[in-house]
Amino acid sequence: MVNGVMHAGTVSLTAIAEAVGTPSYVYSAPDIATQFQQLTTDLKGLNHRICYAVKANSNLSVLRSIAELGASFDIVSGGELQRVVSSGADPRSVVFSGVGKTTEEIDFALKLEVGCFNVESTSELTRLGVRAALFDRVAPVAVRVNPDVDAETHPYISTGLKENKFGVPSTDALALYMTAQTHPNLRVSGVACHIGSQILSIEPFSDALDGLLRLVDELDAKGIGVAHVDVGGGLGVAYQDETALDTAAYGAMLRSKMAGRSQTIVIEPGRYLVANAGLLLTRVEYLKPAKAPGCKSFAVVDAAMNDLLRPSLYQAWHAVERVIEASNDAAACVWDIVGPVCESGDFIAHERTLSLAEGDLLAIRSAGAYGMVQSSNYNSRGRAAEVLVDDEGFRVVRSRENINDQMDLEQIGLRP
């Protein structure tokens, strides 16, 4: 707060709202840089490469700012690969993950010579070999192993258990490596895993790495060397009162287990870099105070579940704050912060104690990850604008959608 007004860096959020409107996502480039530099410091002494997980926030300007920090990229679709390239980054810095790569996506990645394909099935490896031969390319591969490790996170973002769709069982991985080793258009590059998102303790990471290193030793005994060990992402952050992952302890664990080994450690943080560097600006449209015992009081804002899906999808908690401090004599009430979408599941937050008036500007905190990327046009709502704040001020990095933007790709298709 500066003189009772919330800021992003040196920029007043009221100034952004007046210039751009609401709802709008606001990202802080300096805050992203701080997180990147903290992780780099905590990994000091470890031969490592940081590959930002594009799925967390794929805005082109955000990608450009992260590339300028020295990051590589982790992608899960051809669209994300195009975004990385369009941001000016080198496709050879890219790790291509994802359980359902299409032939078109594989071809695109081969033509651009991505750094590594994280293969997730026997069928994918077969298809990759065929397509690489067709283009006379040699595709670098790592097998994504499903280590059956409980990441102790929300079930929707757990990816390393045997009942999850991702990766291959460790018992099947060796056969895939043997196939890749003998294929003229495939080159074994590394081993990989990813056990989930928003992980707050070191133990699941440690257990998963133990499994990967056993596989490295197995491969070495078969004469198959690997250049890197991809431990995935999932580094948890604080949204409410939880303790964020101790990245210093995480780095110490990696250094200890990799001592005496030559492989590069690849880490794929997404949320860790951008979640708390972003917020969603929204304005109160209507107040519906409770009129009878047992009824709820609702603050209807102009942001909705189509803008920020995490509360409805994951029951996620986001701090909600007034952008301008309330006067001392303003009465606080308990409100459910809800949007205008025609769903009872359309909410931003439940039971928040705030002093509110219609027209107030609110900041939804920790919205830099999995906010805009999960947004939709439900109820024919235009997606929010995106704003990036840096040392020079702020700029719109994605314009607000209008109804014509949505309808441009549609045709009524009347028969003559």
pLDDT of residue 157: 40
* Co-location of 209 and 167 in the same domain: yes
**pLDDT tens string 274-295:** 999 999 999 999 999 988 777 8
User: Which residue(s) pair with 240 in the sheet?
Assistant: none
Domain boundary pick from 274, 295, 319: 274
CA distance 157 to 369: 13
Contact by Cβ (8 Å): 274, 57: yes
- Spatial distance between the Cα atoms of 409 and 397, rounded to a whole number of angstroms: 22
Confidence of residue 159 (pLDDT cuts 50, 70, 90): very low
Q: Please tell me whether residues 80 and 218 are part of one structural domain.
A: yes
Residue found by looking up tokens 């067709």 in the block: 134
For the chain, what percent of residues have pLDDT higher than 90? 84
Is residue 181 helix, strand or coil? helix
Q: Is there a single domain that holds both residue 189 and residue 333? A: no
Round to whole Å and give the CA distance between 190 and 168.
15
Total structural domains within the chain: 2
The residue among 221, 248, 274 that closes a domain is 274
DSSP structure string for 224-290: ---SEEE----B---SSSSPPP-HHHHHHHHHHHHTT--PEEEE--SHHHHGGGEEEEEEEEEEE--
- Position 1 in a domain: no
Q: Which residues of 251-276 are buried (b: 16+ CB within 10 A; e: fewer)?
A: bbbbbebbeeeebbbbbbbbbbbbbb
CATH number for the domain including 119?
3.20.20.10
Residues 270 and 132 in one domain: yes
Please give the residue range of the domain that contains residue 112.
29-274
Which amino acid, one-letter code, is at 210?
D
Yes or no: say if 381 and 402 are a contact pair by the CB < 8 Å rule: no
Tell whether 389 is covered by a domain.
yes
Tokens 């490469």 label which residue?
49
The catalytic site residues sit at 342
Provide the pLDDT for residue 158: 42
Does residue 261 sit in the same domain as residue 313? no
Residue 329: predicted pLDDT: 58
Cβ atoms 142, 115 nearer than 8 A: no
